[in-house]
Amino acid sequence: MIYIQRSIFPKPPLLLCLPQQRLLVIILLRPSPLSTPSRTPLIPLANLINKIIILIEKLQKLKKMGMHSQDTAELIFEDCRVPRRNLLGEEGKGFRYLMENLQQERLVVCIGSVVIAEKMLDVTLEYARSREAFGQSISGFQHNSFKLVELATEIEIGRTFLESLIEDHIQGRDITRRVSMGKWWLAEMANRVAYHCLQIHGGYGYMEEYLICRLYRDVRPQTIVGGSTEIMKRILARMMKL
């Protein structure tokens, strides 16, 4: 039997995107509160982390800024007991198992960032061409047209990089370095696109009636989930021996 006490977790809550009704959750944990954190968390922590399945009985749906179609719950473990038979794989190798899928998860975030950026640009181009002010389409104002060209260029360059990443991944090449670059840059790029696309919509961009309003909210966590921008830069700095 493994006992989990809330005090083991230095800063609850743990946020998870999952349907509220789903009761099966896979977590990583250190079995002992006395276990010391690793100084180099990217190296597997032998005998410190187990991968277990735990049944969560009660989840509370959180109110989020965006992504409302996706439930997010706060998981709190208090004096929780997990049968040893629920241990997945070999004890002590949980972090290694996690790392095996982490690059693919980051690639998925890269794909999401490019796709949402493309969608935001599409709806903005359509809006800018049709909206008239001072007797002309607002897309014809030099600032707006230059801005739209800049956004289109960034997205195009982003997609080219993304596609080379996908190809490398399919070929089984190690994408750790490049996917870390893509994860932070594409997520930040998509957020820049969101800012400028909403600005071009003017006041209507702030209204739920216009899709850009929802996309602006939904794109925000791309720089946080799956490893934040700062964590990606830490990984890359370490790889560059900085």
Task: Please give the positions annotated as active site.
Answer: 105
Output the CA torsion 138→159→214→101 (10° steps): -170
| Crossing angle for the helix pair 94-130 and 176-201, to the nearest 10 degrees | 30
Task: Give yes or no for residue 111 binding ligand FAD (CB under 6 A).
Answer: no
Q: Which of 2, 8, 15, 115 binds ligand FAD (CB under 6 A)?
A: 15
One-letter amino acid at 213 equals: C
67: Cα within 13 Å, side-chain hemisphere: 19
* Dihedral sign for Cα atoms in the order 183, 186, 192, 198: negative
Candidates 73-81, 88-96, 155-163, 221-229 — which segment interacts with ligand FAD by CB under 6 A? 221-229
Task: Give yes or no for residue 100 binding ligand FAD (CB under 6 A).
Answer: no
How many residues belong to the site for ligand FAD (CB under 6 A)?
13
Task: Give yes or no for residue 112 binding ligand FAD (CB under 6 A).
Answer: no
The partner residues of 29 in beta bridges, in order of sequence, read: 50
Residue 161: count of CB within 10 angstroms of its CB:
17
Q: Which of 49, 194, 212, 225 binds ligand FAD (CB under 6 A)?
A: 225
Task: Give yes or no for residue 237 binding ligand FAD (CB under 6 A).
Answer: no
Task: Give the Å distances, CA to CA, from 199 to 33, 57, 178, 205.
Answer: 49, 44, 31, 7
Task: Give yes or no for residue 182 binding ligand FAD (CB under 6 A).
Answer: no
Fill in the per-residue mask, 55 to 94: x = in contact with ligand FAD (CB under 6 A), - = not in contact: ---------x--x----x----------------------
Task: Give yes or no for residue 228 binding ligand FAD (CB under 6 A).
Answer: yes
Per CB under 6 A, residues contacting ligand FAD are 15-17, 64, 67, 72, 221, 224-225, 228, 230-231, 234
